[in-house]
Structure 1
Amino acid sequence: MLQGAVTNSISYDRFVGGEDSQALIESDVIVPEDMPDAINVVAVVGDAVINEVIESDEKIQVDGELRLNIIYAADKDKKLMRINKSIDFTHFLEINGSKSKCISLVNARVEHVDYSLINSRKMNVKVIVNISGRAFDKEKKEAIVGIQGEEDIEYLKKTIKLSNIVGQNSAETFLKEQVKISDGEPNISRILKTDVVIKPEEPKITDNRVVIQGSVHVYVVYEGDSKDEYGYEECDLNYANFIEVPGALSYMRANTYERIIEKNIEISSDENGDNRIIDIELVLKTEALVVEKDETEIPVDIYGITRNVEPVIESIEAISQQERFKSQAIFKENVEFKNNVRKIIDVVAYPVLSDYILKDGKVLLEGIIDYNIMYIGDNGNPMSFKGEAQFKTFLDAPIDDGELFIDLKITHISYDIMAMKEAELKFVVDATVDAFKISRYDILADVKEIDEARSEENRHSITIYMVQKDDELWDIAKRYRTAKEDIIKVNDLKEEKVLAGSKLIIPNKI
């Protein structure tokens, strides 16, 4: 290294890799002894919960739990019954270059549920869970930032943009609410289905903390006391908490990732002894990722005017920009049933992302909505209808390229019976896209002095040079080992850009 060289460490985040994969989880479900026989399965509601993520060499291990809410029709009075079942799963994301020290983002969501009744006491359930992961690593490089006492050294400096992950942590928030059934709605016989939608607000950062707040919308479907009688109740639970992230400061930005890890919905009696109260207990887990944007100017090339010096240039790939984009879109689907529909009980739906692309400042998303309609047929029996609805949507994303991490959620479903065999469904799909722009930068890793005489071609006091196509003023100055500022001054240039075919006077200091 050249004597007098001043170095500094450049810290940056590097994208290691990612994978979008699917896990097939299959299980037989036995009807409990205290419950009646089944004549058909009407719906299976699945929820994938991530319990632990373990980063290791070349892979990321995802340990989770698939929670199933199985709704079936009983053989005696044709009433709907519910079975809860939990299945543990482990899935590996194969990511080349990942290490135990990596930072990872992982998401799991149910995409498709298939079920069949084997006999009156046994059913089979198959679930496809989409598991996506992205891995990042922190790197550090020593770079030359200057030479002490060398006035005849010329530098080419450029500004590099870096987006660094300052820290990552999580916190759990306990939510509790007691909801009274609205007047006019039936008493509760049993709860059939509960939908939970998290609505976070923009997080705020104070010193070493990420402040989170928002609400959780709970929608409950239940069966009343009488046959073919169903009730619906909904409420919002507000939350506020903070997550400790050492090094977080107010000017930084935080992305949060929320999921419900525990859900307990129970029925209780009111003062009259009627089942008209729903007790809701939830545990919300929020993960925060704090990001700092940095712009710094560093030398990327160097040469000496009176001495021969040779730069050692290395390239780095760094995350230069991290942005989050959100959108909401409504999709309609007309459904034609095979038989008459007396009443729609509810709709279970899952978003399936089949393709995505970042192009022309937009993220284009394409896929299907896998849905299952629970309804009462004209014979009075609970039935189901399965279908798929195509969707295409986009998000404005003013970023030219990058690695994407996408999450889709169906946040609302509505339905109307248009005729005895026809219905219209409306799905509200929320998309969240984290985009990571990856840039390649040259850094000055070392400078060596070469013991070599200056060539004769550069010993003239003045040289006339004709600018060639794609010539930069820096390249011309370096070729003739003169100061760029001297070329600008001698030629009375107003800017550094030079036109091909123009002539420049190249002053030489020797």
Structure 2
Amino acid sequence: MSIEIIKGNFNIEELKGTSEIQSLVETEVYLNTNKEDIENIIWVEGRVEILNTMIIKDKVLVSGAVKYNILYKSIEEEENIYVVEASKDFNEEILIQGIKEGMEANVEANIEFIEHELEENKIQLSSVVNIKSEVEEIKTLEIIEDLEGRQDLEVLRETINYQEVYGRETSFADIGETIKIEDNKAEIEKVIKFYVEGKEIESVVSDDRIIVSGEAIVTMIYLGDNDIYSVKERLPFNHFIEMPGLEEGSKGEVELEVVEAVYEVLEDDLEEMRLIDVSIKIKATGKAYDDTSKDLIVDAYSTKENILLEKEEMNIPERIKDIDHEEELDFDIKINAIDILDINCSHNTLDKRYIDGEIIIEGVLNVDVYYIDRIGREISSYKDHFPYKSNIPYESDSTNFSIDINSKLGDTEYTLRRDSLSLKNNINYEIRLNKDRKFSGIKSIETTGDMIDKSHMPSITIYIVQKGDILWDVARRYNTTTDEILRSNNLEPNYELKVGDKIIIEKNVDLDLQ
């Protein structure tokens, strides 16, 4: 009698590799002022834009640019603040063995430091850019879920806990808005700094889409009426990431990246330069998934017939534990400020490990503060980084797992004192502990017609359990069932064999194959 095979598919996202490199980006920027006419460089800032990524065999090709914002003061008595914007492209190759076209690359980049040197009428810039890439592949695995049609079949199942991935899609949200400067601030004469951040508020999975609610946070520092002002505006938006076939109730993850932000200063009804027309494009990358479990058939045999199995080695990232943790960060910095124009914070995770019942995460908080100095009443900037360490309790008998961290920085709160600034923020961790689960799944099964001859077997066999034996292996070896061995030895269903156990195995001769 034939065996009816019931197959099923499941999708997993497998991490193929990670790598991090440093790139030295150098350029020179010409100024409108000669060196002897420059009083001081107030700041030299930069940010990295990843313009394009491509995967070829064993490599991730990355194209990007470092966008510079330079602010300096001349010795002129009036209108002596100058702004220079510049950009320098770069191209890099990140080597990751085993990757190929069609896989998904996630690339993150940040500037470790910028060095500058002022020459006659130009400034030399050298930036060290950290570029990290993770390459993943969504794989569809076909497995045998059940066998039917024969009463003589014994099957061994294993349960795996994994993340069923439904897909990953990218789309773009376009945001346009006009921001009005308040009447208690001067109109805009010169923009010193303009940047936009994207922040996810909530993401919900609905039918055929992920619904993203977020904010585009617009920050501008400008000159007006011989004074310096700052504007911060939060522009809410909703966006759909279309994923046909997606069902409500699944889980979703979204990453937002501002890929374009331009502005134009316009006159209002009173012909004052108080309107900022902004146009923003945000890249939204969404992944939909469910944390689920599945019973897989990893072995099978017949008590009456020799059958042929084709097995396939599988490696699945199995979910062990999800941990949410919030870490509060408090720092004091020494500045003598009368007014805070803007505070920009970012963070980098440097190390993650498990030791003695704790998950330890180490990183640095990068802090940029733009302020008006109390003594000179001039614009100044402060830059520094602060190390932090998070100790998160987690008891485990094994250390054979990987630590995957998704961390997001909250909004910065501050308290300004006469000679110091107190900063308070928090990092929200989503920690996933996974281990690689390796097993042999059955790919195909075939009958042979070769019946097992039990006539020469003894009526009773006494088997002494050896090291490494499990009940399934013993039953398979003697063409019986685990239930029959348990019944013959008056053992409980969950009994585990011990080395030296004497097991009675009774011969059961089947006259017919049904």
TM-score normalised by length of structure 2: 0.83
Tell me whether 313-322 or 61-70 shows the greater mean CA deviation: 313-322
- AA at the equivalent of 2:276: I
Alignment of 1:413-432 (within 5 A): 414=414, 416-419=416-419, 423-426=420-423, 428=425, 430=427
In 1, Cα distance between equivalents of 2:232 and 2:405:
31
- AA at the equivalent of 1:404: D
- In the TM superposition, residue 168 of structure 1 has moved relative to its aligned partner by 2.1
- AA at the equivalent of 2:5: V
Tell me whether 171-180 or 306-315 shows the greater mean CA deviation: 306-315
In 2, Cα distance between equivalents of 1:164 and 1:95:
25
Residue aligning to 2:508: 509
Secondary structure at the residue paired with 2:483? helix
Residue aligning to 2:85: 84
- In the TM superposition, residue 325 of structure 1 has moved relative to its aligned partner by 6.7
Cα pair 1:58 1:95 within 8 Å, conserved: yes
- In the TM superposition, residue 391 of structure 1 has moved relative to its aligned partner by 1.7
In 2, Cα distance between equivalents of 1:82 and 1:413:
28
Residue aligning to 1:390: 387
Cα pair 1:243 1:288 within 8 Å, conserved: yes
In 1, Cα distance between equivalents of 2:347 and 2:111:
6
In 2, Cα distance between equivalents of 1:493 and 1:256:
52
- In the TM superposition, residue 10 of structure 1 has moved relative to its aligned partner by 4.3
- In the TM superposition, residue 357 of structure 1 has moved relative to its aligned partner by 2.7
- In the TM superposition, residue 212 of structure 1 has moved relative to its aligned partner by 1.5
The answer to whether the aligner puts 1:284 opposite 2:282 as a matched pair is yes
Can you give the 5+ residue segments of structure 2 that lack an aligned partner in the other structure?
Answer: 510-514
- AA at the equivalent of 2:421: E
Residue aligning to 2:512: none
The answer to whether the aligner puts 1:444 opposite 2:442 as a matched pair is yes
- In the TM superposition, residue 279 of structure 1 has moved relative to its aligned partner by 2.9
Deviations 1:202-260 (A, max 9, x none): 3222332222122222233223322xx32222221111121222332223322111011
Change (3 A) 1:192 1:51: same
In 2, Cα distance between equivalents of 1:191 and 1:209:
39
In 1, Cα distance between equivalents of 2:6 and 2:332:
66
Secondary structure at the residue paired with 1:202? strand
Change (3 A) 1:112 1:326: farther
Change (3 A) 1:486 1:325: closer
Residue aligning to 2:298: 300
Alignment of 1:343-354 (within 5 A): 346-347=342-343, 349-354=345-350
In 2, Cα distance between equivalents of 1:257 and 1:138:
18
Residue aligning to 1:96: 97
Change (3 A) 1:361 1:205: farther
Tell me whether 143-152 or 384-393 shows the greater mean CA deviation: 143-152
Secondary structure at the residue paired with 1:201? strand
Cα pair 1:351 1:410 within 8 Å, conserved: no
Cα pair 2:63 2:90 within 8 Å, conserved: yes
Change (3 A) 1:478 1:148: same
Cα pair 1:31 1:122 within 8 Å, conserved: yes
Cα pair 2:114 2:125 within 8 Å, conserved: yes
Change (3 A) 1:453 1:262: closer
Q: Say how many residue pairs are matched.
A: 500
Secondary structure at the residue paired with 1:151? coil
In 1, Cα distance between equivalents of 2:320 and 2:99:
20
Alignment of 1:3-42 (within 5 A): 4=3, 6=5, 8=7, 10-13=9-12, 14-32=14-32, 38-42=38-42
Cα pair 1:313 1:446 within 8 Å, conserved: yes
Residue aligning to 1:45: 45
The answer to whether the aligner puts 1:157 opposite 2:153 as a matched pair is no
Change (3 A) 1:256 1:297: same
Residue aligning to 2:55: 55
Residue aligning to 1:107: 108
Secondary structure at the residue paired with 2:202? coil
TM-score normalised by length of structure 1: 0.83
In 2, Cα distance between equivalents of 1:363 and 1:129:
28
Change (3 A) 1:322 1:86: farther
Change (3 A) 1:37 1:330: farther
- In the TM superposition, residue 102 of structure 1 has moved relative to its aligned partner by 0.9
Residue aligning to 1:273: 271
Residue aligning to 1:125: 125
- AA at the equivalent of 1:354: L
Deviations 1:449-507 (A, max 9, x none): 69798699x82222344555664321232232211111223334332223536544322
Residue aligning to 1:258: 256
Tell me whether 204-213 or 400-409 shows the greater mean CA deviation: 400-409
Cα pair 2:216 2:236 within 8 Å, conserved: yes
Secondary structure at the residue paired with 2:185? coil
The answer to whether the aligner puts 1:357 opposite 2:353 as a matched pair is yes
Secondary structure at the residue paired with 1:478? helix
Deviations 1:433-454 (A, max 9, x none): 5747332232124557697986
In 2, Cα distance between equivalents of 1:84 and 1:205:
40
The answer to whether the aligner puts 1:491 opposite 2:509 as a matched pair is no
Cα pair 2:470 2:497 within 8 Å, conserved: no
- In the TM superposition, residue 71 of structure 1 has moved relative to its aligned partner by 1.8
The one of 307, 314, 317 equivalent to 1:316 is 314
Residue aligning to 1:224: 224
Secondary structure at the residue paired with 2:280? strand
Tell me whether 261-270 or 387-396 shows the greater mean CA deviation: 387-396
Secondary structure at the residue paired with 1:100? coil
Change (3 A) 1:208 1:384: closer
Tell me whether 235-244 or 384-393 shows the greater mean CA deviation: 384-393
In 2, Cα distance between equivalents of 1:499 and 1:178:
74
Cα pair 1:302 1:310 within 8 Å, conserved: no
The answer to whether the aligner puts 1:480 opposite 2:478 as a matched pair is yes
Cα pair 1:112 1:370 within 8 Å, conserved: no
- In the TM superposition, residue 295 of structure 1 has moved relative to its aligned partner by 3.1
Secondary structure at the residue paired with 1:203? strand
Change (3 A) 1:425 1:29: farther
The answer to whether the aligner puts 1:368 opposite 2:367 as a matched pair is no
Deviations 1:410-435 (A, max 9, x none): 7436362443xxx2341535456574
Secondary structure at the residue paired with 2:475? helix
In 2, Cα distance between equivalents of 1:407 and 1:296:
29
Secondary structure at the residue paired with 1:475? helix
Cα pair 1:12 1:162 within 8 Å, conserved: no
